[in-house]
Amino acid sequence: MRRLNALQPNPRHEVKANAFRLSPACGACAKTSNSEVPETRRAIIRYRKSFTLIESVLALALFSMAAVAISNVCCNCIFALDMADKSPIDDAVKEQITSAVLKISNYDELDDGVEVDGLDGKTYKVYGYAEPTQILDLFELEIVCQRENDEFRTKLFVHRTNTSWYENLSDRDEIIEDRTELLEDRRREWSPPQ
């Protein structure tokens, strides 16, 4: 009979074992009663399941470094594929055409076009169309060049201090008057904040 009792667990020993199992984490847990043990155990388990601020920041930093590395790899691959389709002489000719149009100082010459001897040994007829914007001496310039196999078009915003790109010389004076009137109206309507 004594042997059977030795094999069966004593309920008092289980309660003490459960109460003292939490004692290394919290000294107050060893002295708690039997009803408070499950609440403290849940609190400790909940604490161990959450992330600390340092762990969260570290995970965010690692993720951002991986995202930057992957985006750099993708950009380099796309740039390499794009460079395979371009020829350096074609880009140089486009720059030469653009600079030739920017050297034109008269509106009529822009409209009539100019011939450009390209670096590739061909002659190109280039036209420029300048439209004034609402900002004084700022033009939207469209450059058009007909080539053998395609057409080169580009648009630029160009600031010109000389007034010869206006179709009529009075256009510049009208823009100055409009802007002056607008600023004067705003100045009259302005009231200090209260």
Does residue 157 carry a pLDDT above 60?
yes
Q: Sorting pLDDT into bands at 50, 70 and 90, what band is 24?
A: very low
C-alpha distances out from residue 185 to 49, 121, 170, Å: 65, 57, 23
Q: In whole numbers, what is the pLDDT of the chain averaged over residues? A: 77
The pLDDT value recorded for residue 25 is 47
Mean pLDDT of 122-137: 84
Does residue 21 carry a pLDDT above 50?
no
**E strands in the chain:** 114-117, 123-132, 138-146, 151-159
CB of 160 within 8 A of CB of 139? yes
Going across the sheet that includes 123-132, the strands are: 114-117, 123-132, 138-146, 151-159
Condensed to tens digits (0 to 9), the pLDDT of residues 46-94 reads 666 677 889 999 999 999 999 999 999 999 888 888 777 777 788 888 8
Tokens linked to 1 = 């009979």
